Amino acid sequence: MGPRANPRIMLLLAPVVYFAHILEEAPSFIGWFNSVVTPPMQDGNLVAMNAPSIAITAIFAIVAAWTMRRGAMLILLAWLSYFMLANALFHVIATTVIGRYCPGLITAVLLYLPYFAWLVRYLRRDLHVRIEALAAAFCFGVPMLIQGYMIVFRGSTFF
């Protein structure tokens, strides 16, 4: 994901990166979650539960890659602020604070954070998107940050 990466291909990788993360979480995230949160989450197919969000990510990525417009890429960035950036921070903080592996940590660190950093860098350096616009897009991650705080530090959720 270097500076010379083809931006269209990189944009289209967003749903692939998301799906890889869900595959890492799928076998054991619900069990991990239920060990730290009350009331517990019902067992379910994590892949199926995330399919709508992956599909939306794919739509946003395709539109951004097709149009190569700043607006479409900022919408993708806002979406990924919740599903990648804030989620990655949750996995890192949860693993650190709770003291045991939070399923999803590996892809959060190796895929989510570098991918998100690439997108921000591309928008800022190559498309000259203003810091204020990037900051506004980051705001969409705040609910996930609050949710992560509640899970890790309070053992509860707001949903």
Question: What average pLDDT does this structure show over 57-76?
Answer: 97
For residue 44, name the pLDDT band (cuts at 50, 70, 90).
Answer: confident
The pLDDT > 90 percentage for the chain reads: 85
Q: What pLDDT was estimated at residue 156?
A: 86
C-alpha angle with apex 113: 1 to 87, nearest 5 degrees? 145
For residue 75, name the pLDDT band (cuts at 50, 70, 90).
Answer: very high
**pLDDT higher than 90, residue 116:** yes
For residue 159, name the pLDDT band (cuts at 50, 70, 90).
Answer: low
| Average pLDDT for the chain | 94
pTM of the model: 0.92
Cα dihedral 36→37→43→45 (10° resolution)? -80
Cα dihedral 130→132→134→140 (10° resolution)? -160
